[in-house]
Structure 1
Amino acid sequence: MRLPFRFLLAYCCACSAGSHAPAQGPRGATLELHFSAGGQPTVARVYIFDQDGRPLLIPGAIHYSRPGEVHSVVDRRAVMQLAPGKYRVRAEKGAEFRPAEKMATLEPGAATRLDMEIPRFHEMNQRGWYSGDLHIHRAPEEMPLLLRAEELNVGPTITRHLGMSREPPPPFPPTHLVPADQAHIASQQNQEVERLGRGHGAVVLLNTSSPIDPNMTVLYPLDLEYCRQARAEGGFVDAEKPIWKNVPVNVAFGAIDAIGIVNNHFHPNGVLLEAEKFGSMERDSPAYQTPAGFAQWMIDLYYSFLQCGFRIPVSAGSASGVMPVWPGFERVYVHLSGPFSYTRWFQDLKAGRSIATNGPLLEVYVEGQPP
């Protein structure tokens, strides 16, 4: 059972888990899985466990395996050859759906079909809210399917991850937008500068038109220079999280467009409390050392900027591809000023029309008006 730690902010409101495939005997069994939402075939994030509780990965699907998070992403249906026995199947589909779970008992030499309807309890797009995750480290070719699996409208993939002691970055992608369909759009011309330890921390540079020079030291150039370069090209600068040492400087110089209050330290099974060892600011209160306190630390830092007069929109990012989370576990919803487009989504995020969450859904209105 997953015990998620969840919290939500609104700008205007203030040891590895292994996976295996059971050994096949001479009379194996077949499990056929079909996934739907609203009565229509759909892409799903799928968890399968054998009778001993061990997670399995589905052949031919997108696989993701991190400590405490082992799943497959399946496009509508999948077939598995398994040993006879009992299996638990769980299907999920982002923040607007409830999980579906069933048990299957497989008999020797027999085929079992499992139909799983993933119930939707809310549809944010119909209310004008569109979702995104600003910190994704997944393979670009996976993104169209992942966006549909999580009902994530905007998914910038960080294709160049720069910093000290990193491998030479790949070539800058010639193509930026990669639509899965009209409502789910991935992008590729996105970069992260990350210098941990004695360095400045991290900053995410989205929608950039040229590559950042990878030649840098632990302190030079300042992240401020990379922020300015990205914004001069019409890019979007996300502060990633407020605990980095570069954030007060970048905020003071007006060099960021949003700040990741709901960030990659929050996982489905807990909170990554370590921060200072990565080069964050030092916590000035022991109360910030607990899971709830860590979230409060994010809030207090964010409000310290607001109280200084810096009106910075909230954002969210999962670091899926590094952390044990899927794209959109941390997500920011933007209330759009018109029909959905990738460009309008970022324009309205920059204007502060956002809420950030990793679970609860809240539509925010003040005197009847959205953010």
Structure 2
Amino acid sequence: MPYSYLFARILACLALVAVLSIPSSVWAAYANYELRVVDAKTNLPCAAKIRITDSRGNPKRIKGALMINGTAYITGSLKMELRPGQYQFRLDAGPEYPFMEGNFILNSGDSDSRTIELKRFIDMTQEGWYPGNVAMSGDTSDLETIMMADDLSLGNHITWDNRLNQWAGKPIGAAIDEFGGDRYLLQLGGEDDRAGGKLWFSRLTSPLPVQRLSDEYPAATFFQSDLKNAHVTARSPLEPDLPLWVSQDLLDSICILSPEIETYEFSEKHPLAEQAKQIRKGDVTGNSRLALNTYYKLLETGVRLPPVAANGTATEEQTSRLDRVYARVEGTFTPDTWWKAVQEGQTFVTNGPLLRANVEGKPPGHVFPINIGEKHEFQIALSLATRQTIVYLEIIKNGEKDIEVSLEEYKSRQGVLPAVEFTDSGWFLVRVVTEESGYFQYAMTAPFYVEANGQPRVSKSASEFFRDWVFRRAMSINLPDGDQRNEIIDQQREARDFWQKRAKQANAP
């Protein structure tokens, strides 16, 4: 798999300059141009997004196009009306296509159209990996455009939250919007965002009445009996009620990669406020690293919640990055088979590189049985495709970096990483980090698990970490004395007892 697309980019840039640089002797205030994008293999229209900036670096708004953060979304073709001048562009059709970027000049009176071919350097669906986004907001038509341009197979559409239920007073129509050839937008996704943190819901048959709830009462677990086959995701590992939700078996997954994690704000009474104070001012990776470390601690307690990712909205304030979770589907891809793969932990998350790993032919989420005391080596076979420069690859074992591999060593080993050794229960995963500046860009597999004599690894210190977390959360409950406060405090006591019991039953430090 190639790791540099410089030559391809140069050719693409030259091609687009030739296409767009059309002189004209006709005087006019604007130049008009229609750009068509097709897939080179199928010759079918290809959705993409293009960011065009002028000579001063200002992004140009394309009239009639869906615009997010100065980026125009294309569904096959885009008509542009721009003033004459020199422009820079960046064309992106998702992480499975190379970038196309360069410069072009439009002269006064230009009016023409051309077709650009995009060629995938990898087709993840051919390998059974389908990308999804567990929390998208906006109009359905806009989200369809975003999903096609970002090459997403499945999206969870947030149509109700604590402020508004879009279905109020309306009949609930189709729960799933199928479009664009094997793409699905789940229309009944929802959000509960209160003092205990933010939860995302999917696979529901009707919205939850969260608009009537106060900030603290009742706890999110109030609706647990109504969830049935629903999928519940914690917005991040940083949510104040995370230990409570885990103790009540509310969650099906945790989002560990999203722009919301990077902008997460900690109140003075947040259970992780002291840890957050250690993040250096201006460190754009700080929140993301704290979220990862917290997720690793959760895995250390023996809790097995798969990682997912979220991004994708039609509001100008949000980024148009490619944070997503890939799930490995065996057989036919449908929303049901995708969610089943997620719940089984057959996933990897990414906002850049495409990372597939297997151990002894098994995907992430697999549990390997061993006999305690007997050394067992696990060989990780890795496939990596990327448009970005990789800084390093690492294997995380039981919450700590076990092995770090440079890109050159990875190439020389032909995608086979050093073996991971176990003589007792534990878990391990693979992460790759890029040199992208401005935000934390990486890809990470879900964990592989090792069970010695049928027992998962349970760390005493990690369990005590979440027990102490519950104490700090209980102290911040903002309710007056009375039945409601007593009920919430009792639930926190039950969570405390859950983590205390886990610490006593621990089989690891």
TM-score by length of 1: 0.82
Contact persistence 1:129–1:336 (CA under 8 A): yes
Equivalent positions of 1:121-200 (< 5 A) are: 121-162=121-162, 166-167=163-164, 170-171=167-168, 173-195=172-194, 199-200=195-196
Pick the aligned partner of 2:31 from 17, 29, 32: 29
Unaligned runs of 5+ in 2: 1-26, 365-509
Counterpart pick for 1:250 among 242, 245, 249: 245
Amino acid at match of 2:333: F
> Taking structure 1 as reference, are residues 369 and 184 closer, same or farther at Cα in structure 2, changes over 3 Å only?
same
Q: Which residue of 1 aligns with 2:506?
A: none
1:324 is the counterpart of 2:321: no
What is the distance in 2 between the residues matched to 1:149 and 1:278?
A: 41
Q: Which amino acid aligns with 1:272?
A: T
Relative distance call for 1:365 and 1:76 in structure 2 (3 A) is: same
User: Deviations along 1:216-269, whole A, 9 cap, x unmatched?
Assistant: 10101101223x14532x111011111011211111111100000112336xxx
Tell me the distance in 2 between the aligned counterparts of 1:229 and 1:330: 31
Candidates 227, 240, 245, aligned match of 1:231 = 227
The aligned residue for residue 466 of structure 2 is none
Give structure 1 stretches of 5+ with no counterpart.
1-24
Alignment of 1:187-336 (within 5 A): 187-195=186-194, 199-213=195-209, 214-226=211-223, 228-232=224-228, 234-265=229-260, 271-272=262-263, 274-276=265-267, 281-284=272-275, 286-289=277-280, 290-318=283-311, 320-321=313-314, 324-326=318-320, 329-336=322-329
Note the C-alpha offset of 1:47: 1.0
8 Å CA contact 2:308–2:324 kept in 1: the answer is yes
Partner of 1:8: none
Overall identity of the aligned pairs, in %: 25
In structure 2, the residue corresponding to 1:291 is in which secondary structure? coil
Once the two structures are TM-superposed, the CA of residue 37 in structure 1 deviates from its matched residue by: 2.9
Compare 307-316 and 168-177 and name the one that shifted more.
Answer: 168-177
Name the CA distance, whole Å, in 2 between partners of 1:46 and 1:148. Answer: 13
CA drift of 1:147 comes to: 1.6
The residue correspondences of 1:40-55 to structure 2 (distance < 5 A) are 40=43, 41-55=45-59
Cα deviation 1:18-59 (Å, max 9, x = unaligned): xxxxxxx84432122122232532111111112222212222
Match for 2:341: what amino acid? D
Larger radius of gyration: 2
- The answer on 1:353 being equivalent to 2:346 is yes
Number of equivalenced pairs: 330
Q: Which has the higher contact order (CA 8 A, sep 6+)?
A: 1
Q: Which residue of 2 aligns with 1:21?
A: none
Could you list the per-position Cα deviations for residues 110-141 of structure 1 after superposition, in whole angstroms to 9, with x for gaps in the alignment? 22545433342221111111110101112122
Tell me, in whole angstroms, the C-alpha distance in 1 between the residues paired with 2:96 and 2:347. Answer: 17
Tell me the secondary structure at the aligned position of residue 219 of structure 1: coil
Q: 1:278 to 1:365 in 2, by over 3 A?
A: farther
Partner of 1:14: none
Aligned to 2:66: 62
- The structural deviation recorded for 1:152 is 0.4
Change in 2 beyond 3 A, CA 1:113/1:280: farther
